[in-house]
Structure formats: C-alpha cells, structure tokens
Amino acid sequence: MADDSTLNLRISNLLTPVTIGLHLRGTERDQVLRELVELIPALRARASERERLLRALIEREIMHSTGIGDGLALPHTRNTLGGLVDHPLIAMGRHPTGISFAAIDGKPVRLFFLLLSTSVPEHLYLLARTSRLLRNPTLREGLLTAPRPETVMTLLRQAES
C-alpha cells in the first residue's frame, strides 16, 4: 500500500527541463533507452550506474515490452535498484517519427516516460498514475507538439490539476 508521501507524488514534479529530451535520435529500442538514461543528471558522472540501469531496462523489455499503446512506453526496471537514486524521478523523451518498441498495439512509440523509484509501493504508484494520466488524448497530442521542455511540464501540471 502506498504511504501518504507516495500519494502526493505528481508526475509534473518529478520532471525538470534537463530530464526532458524532445529530440530522441535512436532508431532502435536500446539506443532510445540509453538516451533516456543519459537524461538523468544524477547518473551523468556515474558510468557504471548508467550501465547498470540500462541493463536492467533492457532485461525488463526482453521480459515484456513496456509499450502500452497509443504511441507510449513507460520504461522501468523490474525491481527497484538500490542506491541508484535517492528520490523518485522521471525522464521523458520524444521521438520525431517513433520506433518499433513491441508495444501492445503494434504501433511505433513516440513518447517515453522512464520511471525510477526508491520502493515497490512508489514504483507501482508511479506506473499507475503515469499510465492513467497519459490516457488523455489531448495531453498526448500536446506532448507530441510541445516546442520546449517547459511546455511539457506546464501541460503535465495542467493535466494533473
């Protein structure tokens, strides 16, 4: 069960302009996952931790794709990775044309939300909240056309209010 602090988590508060990449270039799943990992400032100087996270994300995708349909994927690890982050965070990426990501609907994925958490309840809460929030087609369209990371954050803030 989620505790009170988990229930107050807002997706828009877990993003910053530097954790939003609006021009992903990778043409394959693992390349995009690497780009998302590289958006996390806390891991930029920690190459071994970046690789540990990337391996965990790839293993999770091999097990079952995190592509949830409607051009969305919510990459996350199967288990929380101790010591990797000290607070929950999200890295968001947008691909101009979309890539094959074995999504449930078979369509290319253009919007990626990499979820990192510090506990299982927090992890489950973030997955559910992000998935529910992104089911809004107006929000998805806004995220696909947002010109700047700050616009993405504003759109998410508005959708959560």
Percent of the residues in the chain that have a pLDDT greater than 70, as a whole number: 91
Q: Is 71 left (phi over 0), alpha (psi -120 to 50) or beta?
A: left
Domains in the chain, start-ordered, CATH in brackets?
Answer: 13-160 (3.40.930.10)
Q: How many CA atoms lie within 13 A of 115 on its CB side?
A: 27
pLDDT confidence of residue 41: 86
Which residue in the list 23, 76, 87, 95 is annotated as catalytic?
A: 76
Q: Residues 104-129: what's their mean pLDDT?
A: 93
Active site annotation includes 76 = yes
Report which of 87, 115, 122, 105 is spatially closest to residue 3, judged by C-alpha positions. Answer: 122
pLDDT digits (tens, 9 = 90+) for 37-67: 999 988 776 788 889 899 999 999 999 999 9
pLDDT confidence of residue 119: 85
* 4: pLDDT strictly greater than 50: no
- Token pair, residue 40, equals 């996390």
pLDDT confidence of residue 1: 40
Q: Residues 95-124: what's their mean pLDDT?
A: 94
Pair 36, 91: CB distance under 8 Å: yes
Which residues are paired to 99 by β-bridges? 109
pTM, two decimals, is 0.92
Name the H helices within the chain: 4-7, 29-38, 47-63, 120-133, 137-145, 149-160
